[in-house]
Amino acid sequence: MDTILETAKSWLTDFFDPKVKEEIQHLIDNDTEELKDRFYKNMEFGTGGMRGVMGVGTNRINKYTLGKSTQGLSNYLKKVYAGEDIKVVIAFDCRHNSDTLARTVAEVFSANGIHVYLFSELRTTPELSFAVRHLNCHAGIVLTASHNPPEYNGYKVYWTDGGQIVPPQDGEIISEINSLGFEDINFNANESLITVIDTDVDEAFIEASVKNGNFNAAGKDDFKIVFTSLHGTSITAIPEVLKRAGYENVTIIEEQAKPDGSFPTVKSPNPEESEALSMAVKKAEEIGADMVVGTDPDSDRLGIAVRNLEGKMQIVNGNQAMVLMTKFLLEKRKEKGFKGNEFIATTIVSTPMMEVMAKAYGVEFKTALTGFKWIGKMIKDFPQSDFIGGGEESFGYMVGDFVRDKDAVTATLLACEIAAQAKANGSSFYRDLIDCYVDYGFYKEHLISLTKKGMSGAEEIKQMLKDFKENPVEFVAGSKVKWIEDYNTSRAKNVLTGEEKPIDIPKSNVLIYETEDGTRIAARPSGTEPKVKFYISTNTKLDKAENFTKVSAQLDAKIKSIVSELNLG
């Protein structure tokens, strides 16, 4: 506690704003627990950059923590690109303070002699990724906390290729940041180096999105879409993209169309959660729509609902959407003729069905750690290879490589193309998905996410993962555990034969069990939230579509038994 108090008192100098000093003094005098939570650690870069609760303190998002990160990044850019006219582009989402924090970040860059392109108003994360290369920038920043609760904000850093920072840049940037004190931040803006941008980049991005996501599907006139931006940024792009691709029957949920960082109509602006799409699903039932699409605040994730076999709207999960999108893109590429250098990609906690599909089409399959920065890195590391598409279980997808992050704008258009074409062919998005299960095996996944807040929560998460590793189970749902993959040590061990093999991807705090019947259980802490996540994947054969409901119930029962066995409920 002495160290925490010392750190807090260092914020009482004249460098910090009077209101900041006043609040910290109040915490010192009256609220020890809150003081501890705000100062027990520094904001860290995780899978999605730096993300956290807004407020004063080293463990909060504020002008000083973001200013220090920006100062460190400025120093790093000037070392790496010495003598160049360095350029950075900055975007921000709908969250509280995103616009003012983005302005602060721009001012620090400019104070360090770096030319800044600052979007005039909120924009999507995929447009920021696109803008980095479109404007020939050295880096990009987006102020966002994705789908986190309203009290959060964050700061994602993109590199010259348009992808998020990855090793070694991330470690080097963090070292640069950690070498600084807050008094090292240069807040003295050079306004001549800040250029406000808007419609020119918008137009280029929208054109590229339509080009990559439009496959001239039949039946667009007869296809009804309900769209919700969940108070976020996608309202600036998706309606126009759908319109230009030929979709006229688009109903926008007006109550959720206005950007609002309080997200007043939802418990959480996360399309992974069914409640977030409930207003749109209700409207779809009322008007007889074919599809619902909803996006998170920065428009990198999308949730989809379609009509199931009974004709009711049903949300499909990220794995299901990813499988059908990838199958569609593979079919389109097959029609043109494969050249032999194509690949698809996903993450280690996503459905194994992606690898099965890749083998069936004869294209390369690559797998990565959780987070789209790793898929972006693949594109950069293998320039001779052709990325068709890929995604992750957490409702993110990327079509081609013109954007180097998950992209709900183009993915929304692609989903509509698939569904419109299926309807025109007498099928549906849902029935096409079932056909995939018949062709490649019925894979069903389930996510358990446990929230553990604060300092004690971090310790609890650490202990849970330690127990999972040091006391491995021998059976899962009656099937012997065959492989234990430890991404912290980069080793996979066959516990039945003793065989070991290296894991050729970067180290990460992830442990995966795989049983003899192909069931997989993955455990990992979230890189952006105080959560520990357990990913369950089961599979079986589906001999014909007519048996889908029965076999699906069997897999549900198996998942339920696994949750009970591992005490995850």
**Cα four-point dihedral sign 249, 426, 314, 449:** negative
Q: Distance between CA 552 and CA 497 in Å, rounded?
A: 33
Q: What's the pTM value of the predicted model, to 2 decimals? A: 0.95
81: domain CATH number? 3.40.120.10
DSSP 417-480: HHHHHHHHTT--HHHHHHHHHHHH-EEEEEEEEEE--HHHHHHHHHHHHHHHHHS--SEETTEE
* pLDDT of res. 1: 66
* pLDDT of res. 569: 67
Q: Distance between CA 389 and CA 404 in Å, rounded?
A: 11
* Planar angle of CA 201, 206, 211, nearest 5 degrees: 130
DSSP code of residue 543: -
pLDDT in tens, 464-505: 888 888 888 899 999 999 999 999 999 999 999 999 999 999
Q: For residues 108-115, give the mean pLDDT.
A: 98
Residue 510 lies in a domain: yes
Give Cα 310 distance to the centre of its chain. Answer: 31
Residue 81 lies in a domain: yes
* Confidence class for position 181, pLDDT limits 50, 70, 90: very high
**pLDDT surpasses 70 at 316:** yes
Domain carrying residue 105: 41-197
**Cα four-point dihedral sign 62, 269, 273, 302:** negative
Residue 70 contacts residue 140 (beta carbons within 8 Å):
no
Pairing of strands 396-399, 386-392: antiparallel
Residue ending a domain, among 151, 180, 197, is: 197
**pLDDT surpasses 80 at 237:** yes
Residue 381 lies in a domain: no
DSSP 99-145: HHHHHHHHHHHHHTT-EEEEESS---HHHHHHHHHHTT-SEEEEE--
Q: How many residues does the chain have?
A: 569
Residue 417 lies in a domain: no
Residue 67 lies in a domain: yes
Residue ending a domain, among 162, 197, 232, is: 197
Contacts of residues 250-256 at CB distance under 8 Å and 24 or more positions apart, as own/partner, are 250/225, 250/226, 251/224, 251/225, 251/226, 251/227, 251/283, 251/287, 251/289, 252/227, 252/228, 253/226, 253/227, 253/228, 253/279, 253/280, 253/283, 255/279, 256/228, 256/229, 256/230, 256/231, 256/280
Cis ω for the linkage preceding 18 (within 30 of 0): no
Residue 32 lies in a domain: no
Residue 155 contacts residue 178 (beta carbons within 8 Å):
no
Residue ending a domain, among 153, 170, 197, is: 197
Compute the chain's Rg from CA coordinates.
24
513: domain CATH number? 3.30.310
**pLDDT surpasses 70 at 110:** yes
Strands (E), 319-441: 342-347, 364-368, 386-392, 396-399
Compute how many other C-beta atoms are within 10 angstroms of the C-beta atom of residue 431: 18
Q: For residues 520-524, give the mean pLDDT.
A: 95
Task: Give the catalytic positions in this structure.
Answer: 146
* pLDDT of res. 189: 98
* pLDDT of res. 46: 60
Number of domains in the chain: 2
**Cα four-point dihedral sign 422, 423, 427, 428:** positive
DSSP code of residue 296: -
Tokens linked to 435: 């056909």
Q: For residues 129-145, give the mean pLDDT.
A: 98
Residue 35 lies in a domain: no
* Confidence class for position 230, pLDDT limits 50, 70, 90: very high
DSSP code of residue 54: B
Q: For residues 181-210, give the mean pLDDT.
A: 97
Q: Which of 494, 484, 479 is nearest to 523 (CA)?
A: 484
DSSP code of residue 234: G
* pLDDT of res. 49: 73
Q: Distance between CA 119 and CA 94 in Å, rounded?
A: 13
Residue 139 lies in a domain: yes
Share of the chain above pLDDT 70, in %: 98
**pLDDT surpasses 90 at 567:** no
User: What are the φ/ψ torsions at residue 316 (nearest 5 degrees)?
Assistant: -95, 145
**pLDDT surpasses 70 at 151:** yes
**pLDDT surpasses 90 at 167:** no
